[in-house]
Amino acid sequence: MLRIIDARTGEPAPAAPARRAPTRVEAHVPERDATALRVLLVADLLARALELDGTPVWAVLTGAAARDRLREDAAALGIRPFEDGAAAGHGPGTGQGVRVVSEAAAEGAGESADAPTVAVAPAHPAGVDLADPDAVRLALLVRHHHARVELDAAALDEARDTLARLRRAVAAWARHPSRPVPGEVRDRLRAAWEDDLDAPGVLRVLRQVETDPDLPDGARFEVCAYADRFLGLHLTRDVGAE
């Protein structure tokens, strides 16, 4: 079961009801900056993890200034569209709500918040160059969302290099006969993203898959394609490009 650390209590809490009613994922961002984009990215990861577990998701955006431009930035990063929360109300048949907010907003709300709350640490600098959005997305994913992240030139260069390496490898593995994702690897991936959306843990599993001598290349490809349903890094983009 997917669990998040509830900022109201500091304790793990389920991110979905026991029955498969929709979960309302609310991303609350007061302004357009790098931290706001990180909040939206974590909300996107939460929605992806819930859907991978078979839970329907209703994603809404609240509190945002410059909302249209923020939506454009989010779309560039591969973040799902969010409905306007103010206009959408509470929605029919919603089983549970989870709020995703910045650390500062979580501290301001404290235990008065009315739903389990995911707190996201800041990203710096406030302005971010989205010329290479997949590199920005990866640079945000390599650090757990409870840890501050610096989107400096070194971090973005490293993300670009990592993406290029992974995409080359995935394209090469795709030329081999497909093999199923090994159950043990699937379990490790799910254990990572179901443990408070541990994207760095998912990336560690992929690094191990790259070098595991016992895995056939066709299985490596399927593992990366499966993990990318959570990561959203377009790892299969270069398949068939040559």
CA–CA dist 13, 168 (Å, integer):
38
Question: What range defines the domain where residue 215 resides?
Answer: 130-242
Beta strands in the chain (DSSP E): 3-6, 11-14, 23-28, 57-62, 83-84, 96-102, 117-120, 123-124, 149-150
Residues 53 and 160 in one domain: no
| Degrees, nearest 5: CA angle 61-115-58 | 40
CB atoms closer than 10 angstroms to residue 97: 18
- Taking CA atoms, 184 is separated from 43, 67, 181, in Å, by 27, 42, 8
CA–CA dist 97, 47 (Å, integer):
12
Token pair, residue 177, equals 């006969």
Residues 147 and 116 in one domain: no
> At which of 102, 128, 154 does a domain end?
128
How many structural domains compose the chain? 2
Sign of the alpha-carbon torsion through 90, 51, 158, 118 = positive
**Angle of helix 34-52 relative to helix 133-141, nearest 10 degrees?**
80
Residues 146 and 188 in one domain: yes
Residues 93 and 156 in one domain: no
> At which of 104, 128, 152 does a domain end?
128
CA–CA dist 81, 95 (Å, integer):
21
pLDDT tens digits in sequence order for the chain, 242 residues long:
899 999 999 999 998 876 667 899 999 998 889 999 999 999 999 999 999 999 999 999 998 777 888 999 999 999 999 998 755 455 545 668 999 999 999 986 655 567 899 999 999 999 988 999 999 999 999 999 999 999 999 999 999 999 999 999 999 999 999 999 999 999 999 999 999 999 999 999 999 999 999 999 999 999 999 999 999 999 999 998 76
Residues 67 and 157 in one domain: no
